[in-house]
Amino acid sequence: MEEIKKQRGGKREGAGRKAVGLSTTAMSLKLDNDLYLALNSHGLNKNRYINDAVRKAMVRDGYLTE
């Protein structure tokens, strides 16, 4: 009996999440509702704003050096 080749599944060229870059890592984050609303309502670059705030806090607390 000859095996029937399946027509579904497997890799597809260009499928999947695209890489975000060599110096960045994707991450999920949960925010309190008031912070989320404030970030969205002021037209801020959310990624840059959060990165800068975390960096400033980590330098202040001694986890990073400037």
Average pLDDT, consecutive stretches of 10 residues, N- to C-terminus, the chain (66 residues): 72 80 84 93 91 96 93
Q: How far apart are CA 66 and CA 17, in angstroms?
A: 32
Amino acid 1: pLDDT: 64
Q: Where are the domains of the chain?
A: 31-66
**Residue 48 CB contacts under 8 Å (≥ 6 apart), including other chains:** none
Amino acid 24: pLDDT: 81
Write down the H helix ranges in the chain: 33-41, 46-60
**Residue 24 CB contacts under 8 Å (≥ 6 apart), including other chains:** none
Predicted TM-score (pTM) of the model is 0.62
Q: How far apart are CA 57 and CA 66, in angstroms?
A: 11
